[in-house]
Amino acid sequence: MSTGKGNRSSLKEFLASIAVIKGDLSNITAPPFVLATQSTVEFPSYWASHPEQFLAPASEPDPAKRALLVLRWFLTSLKNQQYGGRAENEGVKKPLNAFLGELFLAQGEDGTRLIAEQVSHHPPVTACYLWNDQAGIRAEGYACQEISFNGSVNVKQIGHAILHLDAYKEDYLIPLADVKIKGILSGTTYPELDGEYHIMSSTGFVVHATLFKQEPTGDKKHPLFTISGQWNDEVTIYEGGDDGRVIETINVPAIKSLPMKVEDLEQQDEWESRKAWAGVIAALNNGDMQRTVDEKSKVEEAQRQMRKREEEKGVKWEPLFFSRLQTTRDPILEDLATEPMKDGLFSSQSGMWKFNHEKLRKGIEKPFHGSLKPNVGQLQ
């Protein structure tokens, strides 16, 4: 994030204002020059921005190697996840706050498809379903971010994803890593992943920088594989411990990204992310900060009016593709998550969300919400 003299002054004022706020800062309005040109609802697409990595576990017959390939996919997707698909020298920018009902529908050249939907605004929750029927792989999950500031921006992520491999009837629990955004005061921002991280497999493998089998047959002191390196640079995989044979060295920046594609704006529904934020995105790309503010305010004010009218009429917003579970007990989650992991996988505020496959089978025709538009504050 590069800032001029005037922008630096505005940034300091902004940081001073949020430094005294206690609690979640997810919905705080940031200065326009720190904004990204995409919404939070678009970020699940980065899980599939390296298609070969995403699909690889689905065709590996060896369960230990499958678990390793899941870790490989996770590690190689982190850079695009954290930088929003941009180069590192551009720094980290704040995504647009997705509005309730916002959608991101995309497809990869390999047939991978994505449906992401903003299912809650207070707290902000993005749910997603990423799948490839031909390869037999699918991932379903949701994320709720709690943001605080103490010199760095601290992003605590609540939620998780379940990666399922059809051929092996196998599941992987993918937690969401917490992140610290540093370098804000210097104007050169960069992310650091925070805390410990585990990926759990229904075949009993645990991934935590090393790959080992769960007890009673496993042994943490004698891992099957060990991974070391830096998630945004180079990662080395060793057989056994880190003094074992080098299996592979991965140059993460050299892996070619293939962003998922969306329909042209003319064909998109009014509730699809890039069409809804088209005015803001154009203004940001042109460096027109006043127009950015104006266009962003149109959407935000329309959403406020929509919520107000819903409250007056006693109606509740219903997501198109996802349903909130009436319980916080998910059989797959209960089977895979250890007690220390469960804190952060869900909360009573964020709820638990599942993709509605029946709605997908039946099909949902455009316009998705009839005459209701996200940037016009009327209610059907």
Quick check: is 277 in a domain? no
Tens-digit pLDDT profile for residues 95-117: 999 999 999 999 999 999 999 99
Decide if 231 is inside a domain: yes
Tell me which residue range forms the domain holding 252: 219-256
Residue 96 to residues 266, 286, 299, 332, 337, Cα–Cα distance (Å): 21, 17, 11, 32, 32
pLDDT tens figures, 259-298: 999 999 999 999 999 999 999 999 999 988 889 889 999 9
Q: Residue 244 falls within a domain, yes or no?
A: yes
- Cis check: omega of the bond before 367, within 30 degrees of 0: yes
What was the pLDDT predicted at 177? Answer: 84
In a domain, 157, yes or no: no
CA end-to-end span of the chain, whole Å?
41
User: What are the tens digits of pLDDT across the range 355-367?
Assistant: 999 999 999 999 9
Does pTM top 0.85 for this prediction?
Answer: yes
Q: Are 77 and 52 in contact (CB under 8 A)?
A: no
Tell whether 232 is covered by a domain.
yes
User: pLDDT tens-digit profile of 125-169?
Assistant: 999 999 999 999 999 999 998 887 776 778 888 999 999 999 999
Q: Which residues have C-beta within 8 Å of that of residue 375, sequence separation ≥ 6?
A: 270, 276, 298, 299, 302
Domain assignment of residue 197, yes or no: no
Residue 358 lies in a domain: no
Report if residue 33 sits inside a domain. no
Q: What is the tally of structural domains in the chain?
A: 1
